[in-house]
Amino acid sequence: MNSVVSAIRTALLTAEPRAKCFAARQVARDWRKGALAWRFDVAMPNQPAWPDAPELLAPGHMPKRRKGSSESGRLALWHALAHIEFVAIDLALDMAGRFGAAMGEEFVGDFLGVAADEAMHFALLARKLESLGSHYGALPAHGGLWEAAHDTKGDVAARLAVVPMVLEARGLDVTPATIERVQASGDSGGAKILIRILDDEIRHVGVGTKHFLRCAEMARSNPESLWQSLVKQHFHGTIKPPFNDSARLAAGLSRGFYAEIAH
């Protein structure tokens, strides 16, 4: 039987977006069916395989996204979101494959489920771009989204603190305003996609928080202060309001975690 990590590794090393989505969903399905062996016989790649397009630009070199309802602003929004979801597939796969041996079967199942969700999110957004006459890869994209993974590859608590509990939680804060804007522009199909994504992302933050709490317990640390110190050490952006407190709380992320270090 193929090992769970070799299946994960294969998905990470698949560059073509549709094929990566297919591979990610296949790993999650095979895992649920018990068709993958609990064996950790290969290492995760440092960098997953990605397609030649989109061109990746350093943060700060991205063309300014205008908030207006212009055609190009709309395309830029959907393209940026598609890229975030594309990278999120690999972030979830890497989480499961890199830290699964230490964290156990529930952890692997949870994050393979997240990877399958991210593949679905990407597919919805790729299709949205196509309905607008464009495609994923047509515009440049943010090249810094793998940095968090790289910075935290040696420490599962740091990875959980930064990826689900900072970056995905940030999505909970900003998505409602995007939904409103998209809805106001008359694009109810687009708003529907974002509502579905927001729902799933609350669950993703919840999965991250649940496993982070286990890490804190194993380390006999106070979860809030452990999280704050890991975020200070490994996250180079700012934790800034406005927060979607109710969505965060639904994911188990209470203000006790982030209120103190927000600015």
In the complex, the residues that contact Fe ion under the rule CB under 5 A are: 85, 88, 118, 121, 168, 201, 204
Nearest residue by C-beta to Fe ion? Answer: 204
Task: Supply the DSSP symbol for 37.
Answer: B
| 39/249 with CB nearer Fe ion | 249
CA distances from 227 to 40, 49, 191, 255 (A): 28, 30, 33, 12
Q: What are the two backbone dihedrals, phi and then psi, of residue 8, each rounded to the nearest 5 degrees?
A: -65, -45
Q: Which is nearer to Fe ion, 218 or 249 (CB)?
A: 249
3-state secondary structure 109-131: HHHHHHHHHHHHHHHHHHHHHHH
Give whichever of 1 and 174 is closer to Fe ion, judged by the CB atom: 174
CB closer to Fe ion out of 111 and 227: 111
Q: What is the 3-state secondary structure (H, E, C) of 149-213?
A: HHHCCCCHHHHHHHHHHHHHHHHHHHHHHHHHHHHHCCCHHHHHHHHHHHHHHHHHHHHHHHHHH
In the complex, minimum distance from the CB of residue 1 to Fe ion, in angstroms, rounded to a whole number: 29
Please report how close the Cβ of residue 113 comes to Fe ion at its closest, in angstroms. 11
| Distance between first and last Cα of the chain | 50
DSSP symbol at 56: E
* Shortest Å distance, C-beta 110 to Fe ion: 12
- Contact call for residues 143 and 57 (beta carbons, < 8 A): yes
Q: How far is the CB of 88 from Fe ion (least distance, A)?
A: 5
Shortest distance (Å) from residue 37 CB to Fe ion: 27
Question: Least distance to Fe ion from the beta carbon of 114, Å?
Answer: 6
Nearer to Fe ion, 187 or 201 (CB): 201
* Nearer to Fe ion (CB atom), residue 7 or residue 88: 88
Toward Fe ion, which CB reaches closer, 43 or 249? 249
Rounded to the nearest whole angstrom, what is the least distance from the CB of residue 123 to Fe ion in the complex?
Answer: 11
- Cα separation values, 183 from 168, 179, 229, Å: 22, 6, 39
